[in-house]
Chain A
Amino acid sequence: MLEIRDLQVHYNGITALRGVSLDVNQGEVVALIGPNGAGKSTLVNAVSGIVSPSAGTIAFEGKPLHSSRAWTISGMGVLQVPEGRQVFPQLTVTENLQLGATALRGRKAGIPLDEVHALFPILRERAEQLAGSLSGGQQQMLAIGRALMGSPRLLLLDEPSLGLAPVIIAQVFAALRTLKERGMTILLIEQNATLALDLSDRAYILEQGRVVMSGASKALAADADVVSHYLGVTPEG
């Protein structure tokens, strides 16, 4: 479904990605793990059209994405939940969710608001509150809900656990597991490798802009090198 080939990204004089190839198939949850600064966020931002690659190709269902604008890519159903949530702070929770449906662009009807509320009941309780007044965990739920309103065909999640308390992380990942069970295709970026390998079917390990290892998540979690390198370090890494 998503095919990335030899992707290179340079910006501000830094080489962030040095030839990354990666695939996500329909219905799969693929994790991208690796230390801070490995280029994980750069990769999702390249897929979303926020940064432009200097070489390589990105294709979604055979259509090239690497020269499209960010809003066109969102309109195709490739939807990102950005790092640090990035909800619209001065708008209400409901308005944030309604804006998520902008990405539909007359594709089929989206995931109804009720379903998002069922997944994250707090968003119904706080419907009329300004998004900026929510806690970090609630904002993360709102950011995911906002992307769901656009009926994602590929959901890109950038560090959904970042800065959240363990109990909140558990709630967020329980919701992600529900989405997985419903067949949602997900590319998950995580520093917390334990969480990421637990949820995903396959994983890629990125270091200094290169894929250094990839394979089935279960196999990676059992690999001694991976365990000592990535699972041994603290989640905040």
Chain B
Amino acid sequence: MNQNEFVQLIAPFKDKVFRLAKRLLISSEEAEDATQEILVKLWTKNEGLDRYNSVEALAMTMTKNYCLDQLKSKRASNLKIVHDNYTDREPSLQQKMEDIDSLNWVEKIINQLPEQQRLIIQLRDIEQCEFEEIAKIMNMNETAIRVALSRARKTIREFMTQTHRYGTH
């Protein structure tokens, strides 16, 4: 496989890798670094890639493992990830502002979930992967995935219905 073929191979899922990395690492900068790192790792496997049924699933698994390792080493060195880059969107009408605020707020709630639940929400509710696929990436069985997903969704609902104060969290 030459470089062009590889670039075409990763094109459909490189953003997916980035989004998953960002869900865990929060910072866009770090998620970009992670994506770069993972795709280069994939590129060095090159010839071995034929052995995998789905390169995309492999990439997602590598992303999960890589980012969890990153977080672990970061925790070990006592560095805190800075949550400072919630996307800036153009200022607009009052109603639109409120909507955006509540969207940001949803993001904050999701990003406060435990890592495993964050991964599952990302894969299911955002990337719309089938349970079978998620089970493979997470290395868990489908029942456990459903349980964790349900728990995560309920936690989000709790935050949204109980407090219901946009922008104060």
Decide whether A and B are members of one complex: no
* B interface residues with partner A (beta carbon < 8 Å): none
* A interface residues with partner B (beta carbon < 8 Å): none
